[in-house]
Amino acid sequence: GAGVSQSPRYKVAKRGQDVALRCDPISGHVSLFWYQQALGQGPEFLTYFQNEAQLDKSGLPSDRFFAERPEGSVSTLKIQRTQQEDSAVYLCASSLDGYNSPLHFGNGTRLTVT
């Protein structure tokens, strides 16, 4: 497919478990973003990659959140010791070059922490 692909689509975790969320951006897209969307809210910026470099991680809410993009393509968002407040939809987006080129969003991973 030509779009941004995220997996899993749904994830249920018990409080304290670690989770890993995957994002496959559009091929050739240099820039990759993660956003968190809580229920009834707009998305909130988490972090930004240009190729494999994480240029901005100012939105990560705590040191339990970690993102990587080791080869400049697929990215993984990892949440350690999940808490109930981590329940949200995690959206990944990619863009061709990050400089005013449009964002293409995936359908998101809905994380529920019980």
Partner 1 sequence: AQSVTQPDIHITVSEGASLELRCNYSYGATPYLFWYVQSPGQGLQLLLKYFSGDTLVQGIKGFEAEFKRSQSSFNLRKPSVHWSDAAEYFCAVDVGGYGNKLVFGAGTILRVKS
Please report, as ranges, the residues that interact with partner 1 according to CB under 8 A.
4, 31, 33, 35, 40-45, 48, 56, 91, 93, 95, 98-108
**Shortest distance, position 15 Cβ to partner 1, whole Å:** 25
**Shortest distance, position 88 Cβ to partner 1, whole Å:** 13
**Shortest distance, position 100 Cβ to partner 1, whole Å:** 4
C-beta of 74 vs 103, nearer to partner 1: 103
Nearest CA among 39, 78, 41, 73 for reference residue 57: 78
d(CA 57, CA 2) in angstroms, rounded, equals 27
Measure Cα distances from 40 to 20, 36, 37, 97, 102 in Å: 23, 12, 8, 30, 24
58, amino acid identity: S
Using DSSP, state whether 85 is helix, strand or coil: helix
94, amino acid identity: S
C-beta of 28 vs 40, nearer to partner 1: 40
C-beta of 16 vs 53, nearer to partner 1: 53
**Shortest distance, position 61 Cβ to partner 1, whole Å:** 15
